[in-house]
Amino acid sequence: MRVCRHCGSRAGEVRVGYARMWLCRDCFTRFFERKVRRTLEKYRMLKGVSRLAVAVSGGKDSAALLAALARLELGIELAPIHLNLGIPGYSSECERKARELAEHLGLRLQVFKLEEEGFTVGMLGETRLRRRACAACSTVRRYWLNRLARELDAQAVATGHNLDDTVEVLFNAYFTGDLETIARLKPALPARGKLVARIKPLIALTEEEALEYAEILELPFTSVKCPLGKGSRSLRRKKLIETIAEEVPGYKHTFLSAHLRVFQPMAEEHAELGELGECRLCGEPSSQEVCGYCRVKSAVRAYLAS
Amino acid sequence: MRVCRHCGSRAGEVRVGYARMWLCRDCFTRFFERKVRRTLEKYRMLKGVSRLAVAVSGGKDSAALLAALARLELGIELAPIHLNLGIPGYSSECERKARELAEHLGLRLQVFKLEEEGFTVGMLGETRLRRRACAACSTVRRYWLNRLARELDAQAVATGHNLDDTVEVLFNAYFTGDLETIARLKPALPARGKLVARIKPLIALTEEEALEYAEILELPFTSVKCPLGKGSRSLRRKKLIETIAEEVPGYKHTFLSAHLRVFQPMAEEHAELGELGECRLCGEPSSQEVCGYCRVKSAVRAYLAS
């Protein structure tokens, strides 16, 4: 048994790989929560927020997020939201875990079922959007999170995006020169018209840390992976980034900090962010005449009707 | 035997991996030289150049560079320069191959022996610069290439830096946020005071292509690796970049083009390039009071005297 770097007890069970540090379970829990608090403060994520919508997927990251926010006793109201996307063999298990998590933390969960809209993400696999199912699903999630958060009068939505998610996006954005993504990828995006502010309190914590935290606290979460994402580019990229991080110590943390310190502000100055209007069909915020969500929805419905 | 994509002959022996293309040896040679010509033209590398100094190390890249420049019949005078850095078990073989290459191409080679300066790169291994031997050696090479090129009245120096060399530098510069390197890494750097213009005609060609070209033309070059560079970060990074390129098709070409199209111009605007003065000791161009070369030289000499 290793010695805990923080308290010196002989219970150093948890390894924080990039910091070459062992911690006991209690100290790791405090370490994790302190990092969340520091991220909230550093990027002024809760400025003007009295009710915070929290996206809860049923997975480890959002479980860790919701639990850390609850345990930090921030003096704000937490409004967890779960989207049931209707993916066979996956969504019902996700909803079950999200409900268990909210109950465990004594919070009331708002559940939205996409099938009420007359389609599901599961159906995407059968349409021409099949190859871009992950992108379309992400459009659907962003849309409903924003809409539900606004309807709940929340001043911001928190998502469980961790450091690994972020570096995966950065990796692609940098080698392809995607300045718009670079300009927009920030820990906190302020509100803009009908777009509720978005915050990522886990952005400086790795996937491994979120998993460790969720396991130590015995939070309910599912380890089932989305069947539509199997073999996806996103998963292969994450593996690749793991390989890079093994060869380049500190790769993920250094990349994020270089991004936020050097490139993001520069890109934001240069990139022209499109005007934000409202979708002709649903009235939700959109940079185009018809928003991405309405386009996905009509593509699936057109397929079903044919 | 595969079919050559360009001439249709059944002699497709050479695989251009990233383009999923097989070519016969003659067509590959033309393909390589056409790419060199296109790079020279695209970045106006030979504007105002009647005499071009060419750095010849004895390795495959500079052999390919010098041969391609000679065979393209550009109507300019080529002045190959070789620096003998005094690395035991390496430099004499490099010099031999550089001499053979120049003779093979009917060019007069200028050889400079660093030992005339009272030290060698080989000695770096014994000083406190040991761990940064590759960086110190690169300072020495840049210094002498510039100085010799200027003394030869050349208007520019060409080096054999290929796409792999470039992406290795970019990889580090981007994830660490090294804006100065990003601003400076260009295919052609104009003359600046006593600094002769520098061009990289192989920047869009991979290491593999340079090797293939040098082998097809049976150019004299050494495959011996520098003993000081063994296990160096640079070599490990190149391996890592190979791993990335296997997972991400077109990674290297896309990264270079994103760099040149998006980030480099933006960084150049933002980065403050230091004033270029002259070294108090040697009078060569330097952004500090004493240039990097004189600092390396005095460090080695101090060590030898102790």
Alpha carbons A33 and A205: distance in angstroms, whole number: 10
Number of compact structural domains in chain A: 1
In chain A, residues with a C-beta closer than 8 Å to the C-beta of B259 are 177
CB contact under 8 A, A266 and B261: no
Average pLDDT over residues A25-32: 95
> How close, in Å, is residue A246 to chain B by CA atoms?
10
Q: Is residue A12 part of a domain?
A: no
Per-residue pLDDT band at A234 (split at 50, 70, 90): confident
Q: What is the DSSP string of A3-24?
A: PPTTT--S-B-EEEGGGTEEE-
Burial class (CB within 10 angstroms; exposed 0-12, middle 13-18, buried 19+) of B117:
middle
In chain A, residues with a C-beta closer than 8 Å to the C-beta of B236 are 247
Nearest to A254 among B176, B248, B251 (CB): B176
- For B286, phi and psi rounded to 5 degrees? -160, 145
Per-residue pLDDT band at B289 (split at 50, 70, 90): very high
> Does B255 reach chain A within 8 Å, measured CB to CB?
yes
Cα nearest neighbour of B269 on chain A:
A266
> Does B250 reach chain A within 8 Å, measured CB to CB?
no
Q: Is residue A241 part of a domain?
A: yes
Q: Is residue B172 part of a domain?
A: yes
Give the pLDDT score at A17.
77
A77-84, strands of its sheet edge to edge: A110-113, A77-84, A51-55, A156-158, A197-199, A188-189
Pairing of strands A110-113, A51-55: unpaired
Cα nearest neighbour of A269 on chain B:
B266
**Upper half-sphere CA count for residue B251 (Cβ side, 13 Å):** 21
Average pLDDT over residues A147-172: 97
Reported as a single tens digit per residue, the pLDDT across A44-103 is 999 999 999 999 999 999 999 999 999 999 999 999 999 999 999 999 999 999 999 999
Query: Is there a contact between A100 and A63 (Cβ–Cβ < 8 Å)?
Result: no
Q: Is residue A281 part of a domain?
A: no
Pairing of strands A277-278, A285-286: antiparallel
- b/e map A206-227, b = 16+ CB within 10 Å: bbbbbbbbbebbebbbbeeebe
Alpha carbons B147 and B291: distance in angstroms, whole number: 13
Mean pLDDT of chain A: 93
Average pLDDT over residues A195-223: 97
Average pLDDT over residues A249-258: 96
> Does B266 reach chain A within 8 Å, measured CB to CB?
yes
Higher-scoring residue by pLDDT: A271, B200: B200
Q: Is residue A299 part of a domain?
A: no
> Does B247 reach chain A within 8 Å, measured CB to CB?
yes
Q: Is residue B53 part of a domain?
A: yes
Reported as a single tens digit per residue, the pLDDT across B174-195 is 999 999 999 999 999 999 999 9
Closest CA to B271 of B205, B191, B173, B192: B173
CATH number at residue B229: 3.40.50.620
How many residues comprise chain A?
Answer: 306
Per-residue pLDDT band at A230 (split at 50, 70, 90): confident
Reported as a single tens digit per residue, the pLDDT across A96-134 is 999 999 999 999 999 999 999 988 998 887 777 777 888
Per-residue pLDDT band at A9 (split at 50, 70, 90): confident
Closest CA to A298 of A148, A127, A142: A127
Share of chain A above pLDDT 90, in %: 77
Average pLDDT over residues B275-285: 92
Per-residue pLDDT band at B13 (split at 50, 70, 90): confident
Closest CA to A81 of A59, A55, A99: A55
Conformational region of residue A193, where left means phi above 0, alpha means psi within -120 to 50, and beta covers everything else: left
Average pLDDT over residues A153-166: 97
> Does B177 reach chain A within 8 Å, measured CB to CB?
yes
CB contact set of B274 (below 8 Å; sequence gap of 6+): B287
CB contact under 8 A, B175 and A248: yes
What is the 3 state secondary structure string of B94-137?
Answer: HHHHHHHHHHHHCCCCEEEEHHHHCCCHHHHHHCCCHHHHHHHH
> Does A302 reach chain B within 8 Å, measured CB to CB?
no
CB contact set of B49 (below 8 Å; sequence gap of 6+): B76, B154, B155, B156, B197
Give the pLDDT score at B128.
76
Closest CA to A163 of A124, A204, A133: A204
Q: Where is B254: in which H helix or E strand?
A: helix B251-258
Give the pLDDT score at B273.
67
Give the pLDDT score at B173.
96
> Does A293 reach chain B within 8 Å, measured CB to CB?
no
Q: What is the DSSP string of B136-158?
A: HHHHHHHHHHHHHHHHTT-SEEE
pTM confidence score? 0.90
Alpha carbons B79 and B108: distance in angstroms, whole number: 7
Q: Which residues between 33 and 72 in chain A have a beta carbon less than 8 angstroms from any beta carbon of chain B?
A: none
> Does A255 reach chain B within 8 Å, measured CB to CB?
yes
Give the pLDDT score at B28.
95
Helices marked H in chain A — which ranges?
25-42, 60-71, 91-105, 121-124, 133-151, 163-176, 179-184, 207-216, 233-247, 251-258, 264-270, 292-305
Cα pseudo-dihedral A35, A39, A45, A51, rounded to 10:
-10
CB pairs under 8 A between A and B: 52
Higher-scoring residue by pLDDT: B223, A273: B223
Is the pLDDT at B271 greater than 90? The verdict is no
Give the pLDDT score at A273.
67
Provide ipTM, 2 decimals.
Answer: 0.87
| Domain ranges, residue A267 | 29-272
Mean pLDDT of chain B: 93
In chain A, residues with a C-beta closer than 8 Å to the C-beta of B175 are 248, 251, 254-255, 258
Least confident stretch, B13-22, B32-41, B139-148: B13-22
Q: Which two tokens stand for residue B232?
A: 């160096």
Q: Is residue B293 part of a domain?
A: no
Average pLDDT over residues A189-208: 96
Alpha carbons A263 and B179: distance in angstroms, whole number: 9
CB contact under 8 A, B174 and A179: no
Reported as a single tens digit per residue, the pLDDT across B52-92 is 999 999 999 999 999 999 999 999 999 999 999 999 999 99
Pairing of strands B77-84, B51-55: parallel
CB contact under 8 A, B243 and A248: no
Per-residue DSSP letter, A80: E
Q: Is residue A71 part of a domain?
A: yes
CB contact under 8 A, B243 and A243: yes
Conformational region of residue B153, where left means phi above 0, alpha means psi within -120 to 50, and beta covers everything else: left
Is the pLDDT at B275 greater than 80? The verdict is no
Higher-scoring residue by pLDDT: A20, A213: A213
Alpha carbons B198 and A298: distance in angstroms, whole number: 56
Is the pLDDT at B11 greater than 90? The verdict is no
Is the pLDDT at B95 greater than 90? The verdict is yes
Q: Where is B189: in which H helix or E strand?
A: strand B188-189
